[in-house]
Structure 1
Amino acid sequence: MQLKFPHWILSLYLLILMICYAIGEKTEFKQTNENIVHHHDSTTPHMDHSVLVFFTPNELKIGNKIQVYFKKITPSSNTPHFLPKEEANLIPFSHSNLSFLIQLFGFPKSSSQAQAMEDTLKQCEMSPIKGETKFCAASLESMLDFVHQIFGLNTQFKALSTKNSGLLDNILQNYTIMNEPKEVLAPKMVACHTMPYPYVVYYCHYQVSESKVFKVTLMGENGDGVEAVAVCHMDTSQWSSNHVSFRVLGIMPGSSPVCHFFPADNLVWVPLNDGDEGFGDDGLSSVV
C-alpha cells in the first residue's frame, strides 16, 4: 500500500533541507569514517577523530566529561538535497550499476567521490545483523515510508536531532554534561545516518533489541554548547567484533552497552507520547 502524505510534508521537507545544510562538504562527499561509524560491519583500518562519539552508560551523568568530536556545521550553496521520490526511483541504486552511476555523475573512476559512492552502495546492500531492519532512503517519502513500516501506519512520530550554538571549529575536545540527561521514553526508535553520495541518502535502521534515547546538554572547553541526541544500545552481542566502537572503548561485543552521540545531520525517529503535541521538544514537526 502506497502512503499518501498530507500537507505537513512541505514543512518537514523544509526541515530536512535545513538539516542537509549541515552536510555542506558532502557535495564532494569525500570518503570519511564519520559516515559509517554507526554501521555494524564497519572495518575501518585506522581511527580518526570523527569516530570519537562513543561512550558507555555509566559515563552519562551530570558533571562528567566526555571527549567527543562534533563536526563543524558549514552551510554551503552546493549542499546536496533529497530528490523527489519519483526522480530518485528513476536512478538505479545498486553496486551492480556503479560504473553507470559514476559516469552519470561525471566522476573519474579513481576519484574519492567514486570510492565513496561504492562504499555507500556496499553498506546499503550489506545484510542486516540479527534483529535489525535496515533501509537506505534516497527520498524523504521513502524515509517516512520506512519509519511508518516500523512504527505502524497509524502511529504519529517525530524526529530528534543534535543542535549546537555554533561550533567554532572541527576539534576534538572534552564536553561536560551540564544537566541530568533526559531519557526520551520510546518503545521503538529508528536511527537515520547520512551517507556520502551525490544526492542525500540516509541509512536508516531499527533493532528489536533494547535501545535508549537521551537528550544531553553539553558544554565544550572552548565554549561550544551542544544539545545532543544520544542513543545507548543495550545489547551489542550481535555486532561485528570489527565495529569501531569496540576499538574506541576497548571492549568486546556483548560485554557492555554502547552509547553514541549523533551528528547534527543525523535523525532519530521516535513515536509521539500521549502528552506530546504537534511539535517535538526540539521544534521538529511531528508526522502521521
Structure 2
Amino acid sequence: MRPSWSLILYALLVLLTAQGNNARKIISLGNGKDNNEDLIDLYQGNEHDHDHSTSSSHMHHMDTALNVFFTPKDLKLGKTMPIYFSKNDPSTSPRILPREEAASIPFSISKLPYLLEFFSFTQGSPQAKAIEYTLTQCELEPIKGEVKFCAASIESMLDLVGALFGSSTKFKVLTTSQLKNSTTLLQNYTVLEAPKEILAPKMIGCHTMPYPYAVFYCHSQESENRLYQVLLGGENGERVEAAAVCHFDTSQWDPSHAAFSVLDVQPGSSPVCHFFPADNLVWVPLPA
C-alpha cells in the first residue's frame, strides 16, 4: 500500500514553497517583464538530460550555471570542486496549481497562440519563448530506453510516478537541501563524507521547467544510473546535502548536450554525473 497521498502532497508543498530554482524564477504569472533576453539560454544551462541544446555561441552566458556536472572519479571523500547551487526565492517561483485548475488550461504547442493570449504575453517575448520551449520539450519523443512525461500538478506527478513504479510499490522522494542559508551561487565545495549510494532498480528525475506555473519534466532511463546523497561543505561555511546521479550510458544523448562541452567528452565515451537543483525531485521505489 502506498504512503498517504495527503501526507506526500503536504510534504512536497512545504518543500517546494521553501525552495526555488533559477529555471523557475525567470517567469512569473502575469509579471509583465520582458527584460531577460537570455531566458532560454540560461535555462538550458541548468541540468536536464532530455535536451541540453546549448550552442557554443551561448556558452559564455551559462558558464557559471553549468558547474553542476562532474565524473564518477570526482565523487570521493575530500574532493573539492566548484559547484553552482541556485538560491531560494519562493516569492518569484511560479505557483503550484491544483490538479483541477491545471487540467482546465491547455498544455500543447498547438495551443501556443491561445496560451500567449491567456497569460498576456507578447509573441517573441522571453516569456513566450519559455512557454514554447517547455511545450516543445514536453512533446518530444523519448530517446531509446527512456520513459518521460510532463506534470502540471503534484497530484498528476504522483499518479504517473506510481504508475511507472507499479500500483503496489511504495516510493520516496530525494532532493537537494541547503543546510545553511547563503547568497553565494558558485563556490568551491568539498565532499565531507563518503557519498552514500541509493540502491534502487529505477529512478525518476523530475525537473522544473520555465512556465507561468509549476511544470515538472519527469523521465526515467533504462540504462545504468547510480544515485547518490552527498554532504558538501562550501568554502564560506555553507553545507548542502545534495542529490546527485551518474549516467553510465550517454550514447543516446544529443551531441550538443551541455555536459559534453563542460566535461570535454563525447556521447557514450564517459559517464556523466550531475547534482540536482534544490527544487528538482528524484523518486525511487522502496524495497519490498
Q: TM-score range by the shorter chain?
A: 0.7 to 0.9
Q: Is the 8 A contact 1:137 1:143 kept in 2?
A: yes
The structural deviation recorded for 1:9 is: 4.7
For residue 43 of structure 1, what is the amino acid of its counterpart?
S
Q: Is the 8 A contact 1:73 1:166 kept in 2?
A: no
Q: Which residue of 2 aligns with 1:169?
A: 183
* Deviation digits for residues 206-253 of structure 1 (CA, Å, limit 9, x no counterpart): 001111110001111222211100011111111111111000000011
For residue 244 of structure 1, what is the amino acid of its counterpart?
A
The 10-residue stretch of structure 1 (217-226 or 185-194) with the greater mean CA deviation from structure 2: 217-226
The structural deviation recorded for 1:177 is: 0.5
For residue 10 of structure 2, what is the amino acid of its counterpart?
S
SS of structure 2 residue aligned to 1:145: helix
Cα 1:25–1:223 change in 2 (3 A) is: farther
SS of structure 1 residue aligned to 2:268: coil
Gaps of 5+ in 1: 275-288
Q: Which residue of 1 aligns with 2:266?
A: 252
SS of structure 2 residue aligned to 1:43: coil
The structural deviation recorded for 1:164 is: 0.8
**Alpha-carbon distance between aligned partners in 1 of 2:215 and 2:245, rounded to the nearest angstrom:** 21
The structural deviation recorded for 1:12 is: 3.5
Q: Is the 8 A contact 2:175 2:276 kept in 1?
A: yes
1:62 to 2:77 alignment? yes
Q: Is the 8 A contact 1:191 1:268 kept in 2?
A: yes
2:210 equivalent among 189, 193, 196: 196
For residue 118 of structure 1, what is the amino acid of its counterpart?
E
Q: TM-score, normalised to structure 1's length?
A: 0.87
Q: Runs of 4 or more off by more than 4 Å in structure 1?
A: 19-26
The 10-residue stretch of structure 1 (31-40 or 230-239) with the greater mean CA deviation from structure 2: 31-40
SS of structure 2 residue aligned to 1:104: helix
For residue 59 of structure 1, what is the amino acid of its counterpart?
D
User: How many residue pairs were aligned?
Assistant: 270
**Alpha-carbon distance between aligned partners in 1 of 2:139 and 2:15, rounded to the nearest angstrom:** 24
The structural deviation recorded for 1:17 is: 4.0
Gaps of 5+ in 2: none
Q: Which residue of 1 aligns with 2:50?
A: 40
For residue 15 of structure 1, what is the amino acid of its counterpart?
V
Q: Which residue of 1 aligns with 2:13?
A: 14
RMSD: 2.1
Cα 1:240–1:24 change in 2 (3 A) is: closer
The 10-residue stretch of structure 1 (177-186 or 78-87) with the greater mean CA deviation from structure 2: 78-87
1:73 to 2:88 alignment? yes
SS of structure 1 residue aligned to 2:90: coil
